[in-house]
């Protein structure tokens, strides 16, 4: 998930190439769900620092491994051609060799596995299932004949793994159960994370259609993708209100609504602009919205 461009470019220094390959803005997609899930656990008296830190590290390394996997397998499929309008990808630009990226991917997933072993010891066998499924989804998003991202399943995968699984899983490793509040909290987190992918797919709809990558934007059209973006915003901003009105949270539940002007401005850009630079900016700001909303949502969970 995230921006990419196959245009050739002069390589920066080796360290900067690897930092670029990490796709730092996308790492928030892994971090925010852990913060929210841990905040729900703390609210309900189940916070455990060891499992919380391990969940943070595991989620972070899975996202890093997924980014490397996306670069590697998109490159092998020819998806990062010069017609793409996203940011430069190191493989497409010739800055890194496929073997380098493959080793980095395996190292990241190996580090995630180490964190998962600790969590399995702390919280039991369900963590093993969660970890295996998460890594499989990270690789399967772009790898293989039935890659999720190439068959209209990317949005569902992101919503499930960066929303439901990540938030509820973080809660589970601390509480050894899953509460209704943890599941509810996962919905806005997953919705806003999915919108990062939606912007990516709106931006690349024509290029993806050319190479046979069937995202939802390609299958149903740009207008449907814009409607999806708006619907996911509605889900995200309705949930805090519903939790407040239902008495699950206090007035602090409305804190995430402070980011609504940014969300509406982004919807306007996604709906009206077609040029790469504008949509690249919208992608980065959607990731920022995910962080701001998630941070305020976590604070709301910790408030009386």
- Residue scoring higher pLDDT (219 or 29): 219
Q: Contact, 267 vs 300, CB < 8 A?
A: no
CA distance linking residue 68 with residue 108, whole number of Å: 9
pLDDT of residue 84: 55
pLDDT of residue 157: 94
pLDDT tens digits, 77-100: 876 654 556 667 788 788 889 999
CA distance linking residue 282 with residue 303, whole number of Å: 31
pLDDT of residue 249: 95
- pLDDT over 90 percentage in the chain: 74
pLDDT tens digits, 246-276: 999 999 999 999 999 999 999 999 999 998 8
pLDDT of residue 86: 60
pLDDT tops 80 at residue 102: yes
CA distance linking residue 219 with residue 196, whole number of Å: 18
pLDDT tops 50 at residue 174: yes
CA distance linking residue 127 with residue 284, whole number of Å: 31
Sign of CA dihedral 257, 288, 32, 192: positive
Structure tokens at 93: 């630009």
**Angle, vertex CA 200, rays to CA 148 and CA 139, nearest 5:** 30
pLDDT tens digits, 33-66: 999 999 999 999 999 999 999 999 999 999 999 9
Structure tokens at 162: 């960066």
Cα–Cα nearest to 297, from 238, 267, 263, 257: 257
Residues near 22 by beta carbon (within 8 Å), at least 6 away in sequence: 64, 67
pLDDT of residue 188: 98
Query: What is the CATH architecture assignment of 14-302?
Result: Orthogonal Bundle (1.10)
Q: Which residues in 183-208 are b (16+ Cβ under 10 Å) and which e?
A: ebbbbbbbbbbbbbbbbbbbbbbebb
User: What does the H/E/C string look like for 180-229?
Assistant: HHHHHHHHHHHHHHHHHHHHHHHHCHHHHHHHCCECHHHHHCHHHHHHHH
């Amino acid at each position: 998930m995230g921006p990419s461009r196959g245009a050739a470019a002069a390589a920066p220094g080796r360290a900067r190439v690897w930092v670029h390959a990490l796709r730092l803005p996308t790492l928030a997609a892994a971090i925010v769900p852990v913060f929210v899930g841990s905040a729900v656990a703390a609210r309900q008296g189940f916070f455990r620092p060891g499992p919380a830190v391990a969940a943070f590290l595991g989620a972070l390394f899975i996202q890093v491994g997924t980014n490397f996997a996306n670069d590697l397998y998109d490159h092998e499929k020819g998806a990062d051609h010069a017609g793409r309008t996203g940011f430069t990808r190191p493989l497409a630009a010739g800055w890194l060799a496929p073997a380098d990226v493959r080793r980095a991917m395996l190292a990241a997933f190996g580090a995630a596995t180490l964190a998962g072993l600790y969590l399995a010891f702390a919280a039991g066998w369900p963590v093993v299932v969660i970890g295996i499924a998460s890594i499989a989804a990270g690789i399967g998003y772009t790898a293989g004949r039935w890659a999720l991202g190439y068959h209209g399943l990317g949005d569902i995968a992101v919503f499930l793994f960066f929303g439901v699984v990540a938030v509820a899983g973080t809660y589970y490793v601390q509480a050894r159960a899953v509460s209704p509040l943890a599941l509810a909290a996962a919905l806005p987190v997953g919705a806003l994370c999915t919108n990062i992918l939606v912007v990516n797919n709106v931006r690349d709809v024509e290029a993806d259609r050319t190479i046979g990558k069937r995202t939802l934007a390609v299958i149903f059209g740009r207008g449907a993708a814009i409607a999806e973006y708006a619907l996911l915003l509605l889900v995200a901003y309705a949930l805090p209100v519903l939790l407040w009105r239902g008495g699950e949270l206090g007035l602090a539940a409305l804190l995430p609504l402070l980011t609504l002007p940014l969300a509406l401005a982004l919807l306007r850009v996604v709906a009206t602009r077609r040029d790469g630079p504008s949509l690249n900016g919208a992608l980065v700001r959607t990731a920022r919205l995910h962080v701001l909303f998630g941070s305020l949502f976590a604070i709301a969970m910790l408030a009386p």
